[in-house]
A and B are shown apart, each in its own frame.
Chain A
Amino acid sequence: MDRKLIKHPFYSIIYLSFVFFIIIPVIYTLGSAIFIDSSLLDNLQLFNYETFILLAKSCFIAFTIALLSTLFGSTLGFLIYKTNIIFRVFFKVSLLIPLLISPYILAVAWKDFFYLFFDNTSFISSTIGVILVLTTIFTPLSMLIIGSALSNIDSQLEESGFVITNFRSVILKIMLPLIKPALISSFVLVFIFSISEFSVPAFFGVKVFTTEIFTQFSAFYNHSLAILQSAMLIFICIFLLLSEKKHIANAPFLSVSGKGTNSRTYNLKKWNFLSKLFLFVWFFITIVFPFVILFIQSFKNGTTKFIQAFELLLPTFNNSIGLAFLGALIIVIVGFTAAYHSARQTHNKKIKSFDWFLLIVFAIPSTIFGISLIKFYNQPALDFIYSSYSILIIGYVGKFTFISAKLIENAIKQIPNSLDEAAQIQGIPFFTRQIKILIPLIMPTLFVAFIISFIFSLGELGTTIMLYPPGTEIMPIKVFTIMANAPQSLTSSMTLIVFLITLLLITSLYFLVKPFIKNYSNGYD
């Protein structure tokens, strides 16, 4: 059946479109910088001691964030996925919020805190500040990865350990080795995200490699140097990805409702109070606290600034929501196509290459991906893309299809192939089988993939700031450009509005999806 499916024209159209619109621009940009640009040698000479120091600093920041996130993520993952701690379902969902909102929102909130209580933001506007804020943002990702791995440990493996040894040995010698791939995946992914992060260091005024690339590209118009610096960062990201390719490419943690195995949960006994305290403090610091601070800062002088912020943001709502909606729709279609073939034909080289393309573009820092698209599309023949919203949609699809594809792929893998084969034998055509059998069964996952893609596209700053056509009103761009010169309370008000809109959308979309998840709970998804 392999060859028949791979020849399906719909798959080929999606595959070739992805290669043409997204992969070729990346290859073209890197290739032109290295092989065509005459200033390459000159630029190579600019790679001096300071460049490498900056790269080392970025690596150090990313390493520390990855380490801290994995450490906190393991603890939270264990408490939420492996113990009977109170409100675990609530925490399982709510602690993911920092991952779903734009990083700069939390950066603004923390800056507000220091501004409000110490009248001095130098502590937070530093390398330490970047590390702290990004740790609170990426710890939920580690929690998700490690928690999923912990809940997938078959209880019999732990119980057979308890028969011969104590709790500590079971943790260290049975559970830790079993979740080692998840720990490494967590570390590598957080490292890649941190070294690629643009908005938080930019907002705190901390010079890192991504902000330097942005400066070279946007302020000094030294495109070749920016691309060469980008190439270094891409090299680091891809090198790390390759080292952990199996676990990250499969991304088993990106699953909506994996059946998993018969997982064992622990009673915390004497650790109960401390564990609860830790969970509540974490929840308070990473979710409640930023919101409250933004609220105080926005309204400390009345409602004027809030109203002004709302008026400034109002023209961006339609554009931002519309673009995010369209982007999410295309992301889910491309993601479903890639996921279906990846789940059903694991040995096909063309499909493997699609998987890899999705993963590599996902790992490329947003600003650098944006530069690639600009370099490729900024020519007369492709101006209809460059000067329209299409380029933003292409950017969103490139950045976020990997997540959507992996979510959907893990759902499809839970649907036995025999359901499709039973229909195939009865003469049901391929598309009818997809629409009437497979899609209804994975509908909850498709909704979740849509929501996540929508929220990510709505808050995406790194790619958008590079790509937005002149005169376009986009929410994160508006906040980011006004941030530089406006009073702090106006920035806080704008950020609070974005935060509230994001939360409102997450909540309403969640309640929209919930009945679907319940209706299909007797299926396989």
Chain B
Amino acid sequence: MGMIEFKNIAHSYGTKPVLHDLTLDFKANQLTCLLGGSGCGKTTILRLIAGLEIPQTGHVIIEDKIVTKNKQILIPPNLRNIGFIFQDLALWPHFTVYKNIAFGLTERKLANQKDKEINIKDTVFKMLDFFDLREYADRYPHQLSGGQKQLAAISRSLVLKPKILLMDEPLANLDVKLKRKILEHIKNLKHNFDLTIIYVTHDHKEAFAIADEIVVLNDGKIEETGSVEQIKKSENTFVKYFLEY
């Protein structure tokens, strides 16, 4: 059994179907890339895992618990132990880097206020140090470079110690050099933070660089699943066509 399981999931936006009877497993402690073109349902899969969307049919299981079933959310997003890096990063523009990372910790109810303060500060600075962001702690998002924003968003997600990290095309707006640097970071996250990562991209080079497993999607259906080597050698017409570009 996988860390995350999709059982016969169908989903649509209004009248437009996005996912058709999708059954899919994501293995624990692996970095799985969802690869496909625009509108194939990659982001929808992430949003369904996070609980930001409710599927029309089927159910979603996380760590053996049914989290969404029969159009009902059984476990809300905040109790699923996940981190989410949005495509636009969604850094709160009116908070400093420190506050962006600390906000989730601050708002979570802890018994002792004093311990809470110390723990939060300590935890946030450890995270900032890990990503070399300490000197930017007092800056606002608009004062950071693209790469620093990326790392700040990752730090914010990891500070709550999630077991699953969902990444929605996080490198879409970066140049090649920066992409390589951040990809190295992402590769190491899995081991350093004991994470299951699901990474959405339309760029097969990105997927080949970091994935343990790749799921190729087309029009809401799975075309192919396998390791990097298996995908490279796939005889599937769509996969071959997609990898040509």
A residues neighboring B (CB under 8 Å)? 1, 4, 347, 416, 418-419, 421-429, 432, 436-437, 440-441, 520, 522-524
Is B208 an interface residue, CB under 8 A from the partner? no
Is B110 an interface residue, CB under 8 A from the partner? no
Known: A416-B88, A524-B93. A426 touches B103 (CB 8 A): yes
- The minimal Cβ–Cβ distance linking B110 to chain A, given in whole angstroms, is 12
Query: Do A423 and B79 touch across chains, with their CB atoms under 8 A apart?
Result: no
Question: CB < 8 Å: which of A418, A424, A522, A523 contacts B78?
Answer: A424
- The minimal Cβ–Cβ distance linking B7 to chain A, given in whole angstroms, is 22
Query: Do A427 and B93 touch across chains, with their CB atoms under 8 A apart?
Result: no
Closest-by-CB residue of A relative to B108 is A427
Is B160 an interface residue, CB under 8 A from the partner? yes
Query: Do B107 and A428 touch across chains, with their CB atoms under 8 A apart?
Result: yes
Contacts of B36 in A (CB 8 A): none
Query: Do B14 and A347 touch across chains, with their CB atoms under 8 A apart?
Result: yes
Q: Could you tell me the distance between the alpha carbons of A421 and B53 in the complex, rounded to whole angstroms?
A: 11
Query: Do B90 and A426 touch across chains, with their CB atoms under 8 A apart?
Result: no
Query: Do B93 and A421 touch across chains, with their CB atoms under 8 A apart?
Result: no
Contacts of B83 in A (CB 8 A): 425
- The minimal Cβ–Cβ distance linking A524 to chain B, given in whole angstroms, is 6
Q: Could you tell me the distance between the alpha carbons of A441 and B73 in the complex, rounded to whole angstroms?
A: 29
Query: Do A1 and B78 touch across chains, with their CB atoms under 8 A apart?
Result: no
Query: Do A425 and B50 touch across chains, with their CB atoms under 8 A apart?
Result: yes
For this complex, 7 residue pairs linking A to B, each with C-beta atoms less than 8 Å apart, are A1-B54, A418-B90, A424-B52, A425-B52, A426-B104, A429-B107, A523-B94
Query: Do A440 and B94 touch across chains, with their CB atoms under 8 A apart?
Result: yes
Query: Do A419 and B160 touch across chains, with their CB atoms under 8 A apart?
Result: no
Query: Do A421 and B78 touch across chains, with their CB atoms under 8 A apart?
Result: no
Contacts of B94 in A (CB 8 A): 440-441, 520, 523
Query: Do A522 and B142 touch across chains, with their CB atoms under 8 A apart?
Result: yes
Query: Do A437 and B104 touch across chains, with their CB atoms under 8 A apart?
Result: no
- The minimal Cβ–Cβ distance linking B12 to chain A, given in whole angstroms, is 13
Is B136 an interface residue, CB under 8 A from the partner? no
Contacts of B90 in A (CB 8 A): 416, 418-419, 421-422
Query: Do B93 and A422 touch across chains, with their CB atoms under 8 A apart?
Result: no
Contacts of A524 in B (CB 8 A): 93
Query: Do B92 and A425 touch across chains, with their CB atoms under 8 A apart?
Result: no
B residues neighboring A (CB under 8 Å)? 14, 50, 52-54, 73, 77-79, 82-84, 86-88, 90, 92-94, 103-104, 107-108, 140, 142, 156, 160
Closest-by-CB residue of B relative to A428 is B107
Q: Could you tell me the distance between the alpha carbons of A522 and B90 in the complex, rounded to whole angstroms?
A: 14
- The minimal Cβ–Cβ distance linking A439 to chain B, given in whole angstroms, is 10
Known: A441-B93, A441-B94, A522-B142. A421 touches B107 (CB 8 A): no
Closest-by-CB residue of B relative to A426 is B104
Q: Could you tell me the distance between the alpha carbons of A441 and B92 in the complex, rounded to whole angstroms?
A: 9
Q: Could you tell me the distance between the alpha carbons of A522 and B14 in the complex, rounded to whole angstroms?
A: 34
* Interface core residue of B88, B92, B94, B160 (most chain A CB under 10 Å): B94
Q: Could you tell me the distance between the alpha carbons of A432 and B53 in the complex, rounded to whole angstroms?
A: 21
- The minimal Cβ–Cβ distance linking A93 to chain B, given in whole angstroms, is 25
Contacts of A425 in B (CB 8 A): 50, 52, 77-78, 82-84
Contacts of A520 in B (CB 8 A): 94
Contacts of A427 in B (CB 8 A): 78-79, 104, 107-108, 160
Contacts of B108 in A (CB 8 A): 426-427
Query: Do B77 and A522 touch across chains, with their CB atoms under 8 A apart?
Result: no
Known: A422-B86, A427-B104. A437 touches B77 (CB 8 A): no
- The minimal Cβ–Cβ distance linking B152 to chain A, given in whole angstroms, is 12
Q: Could you tell me the distance between the alpha carbons of A427 and B88 in the complex, rounded to whole angstroms?
A: 20
Q: Could you tell me the distance between the alpha carbons of A418 and B88 in the complex, rounded to whole angstroms?
A: 8
Q: Could you tell me the distance between the alpha carbons of A419 and B54 in the complex, rounded to whole angstroms?
A: 19
Query: Do A421 and B140 touch across chains, with their CB atoms under 8 A apart?
Result: no
Closest-by-CB residue of A relative to B82 is A425
Contacts of B140 in A (CB 8 A): 522
Question: CB < 8 Å: which of A1, A416, A423, A424 contacts B103?
Answer: A423
Q: Could you tell me the distance between the alpha carbons of A168 and B194 in the complex, rounded to whole angstroms?
A: 65
Contacts of A423 in B (CB 8 A): 92, 103-104
Query: Do B92 and A437 touch across chains, with their CB atoms under 8 A apart?
Result: yes
Q: Could you tell me the distance between the alpha carbons of A311 and B46 in the complex, rounded to whole angstroms?
A: 68
Q: Could you tell me the distance between the alpha carbons of A441 and B78 in the complex, rounded to whole angstroms?
A: 23
Query: Do B104 and A522 touch across chains, with their CB atoms under 8 A apart?
Result: no
Query: Do B84 and A422 touch across chains, with their CB atoms under 8 A apart?
Result: yes
Q: What 10 A-B pairs come out closest when comparing CB atoms? A: A427-B78, A426-B104, A418-B90, A422-B90, A418-B86, A523-B93, A522-B142, A425-B77, A428-B107, A440-B94
Q: Could you tell me the distance between the alpha carbons of A148 and B117 in the complex, rounded to whole angstroms?
A: 47
Closest-by-CB residue of B relative to A520 is B94
Known: A441-B93, A522-B142. A421 touches B52 (CB 8 A): yes
Query: Do A428 and B104 touch across chains, with their CB atoms under 8 A apart?
Result: yes
Closest-by-CB residue of A relative to B140 is A522
Contacts of B103 in A (CB 8 A): 423, 426, 428, 436
Q: Could you tell me the distance between the alpha carbons of A440 and B94 in the complex, rounded to whole angstroms?
A: 8
Query: Do B93 and A522 touch across chains, with their CB atoms under 8 A apart?
Result: yes
Q: Could you tell me the distance between the alpha carbons of A428 and B188 in the complex, rounded to whole angstroms?
A: 28
Contacts of A522 in B (CB 8 A): 93, 140, 142
Contacts of A4 in B (CB 8 A): 73
Question: CB < 8 Å: which of B77, B142, B160 contacts A424?
Answer: B77
Q: Could you tell me the distance between the alpha carbons of A421 and B52 in the complex, rounded to whole angstroms?
A: 8
Q: Known pairs A416-B86, A426-B104, A520-B94. 19 more at Cβ < 8 A?
A: A416-B90, A418-B88, A421-B90, A422-B84, A422-B156, A423-B103, A423-B104, A425-B78, A425-B82, A425-B83, A426-B78, A426-B108, A428-B78, A428-B103, A429-B107, A436-B103, A440-B94, A522-B142, A523-B93
Contacts of B82 in A (CB 8 A): 425
Query: Do B160 and A426 touch across chains, with their CB atoms under 8 A apart?
Result: yes
Contacts of A418 in B (CB 8 A): 86-88, 90
Known: A422-B86, A422-B90. A432 touches B107 (CB 8 A): yes
Q: Could you tell me the distance between the alpha carbons of A510 and B156 in the complex, rounded to whole angstroms?
A: 37
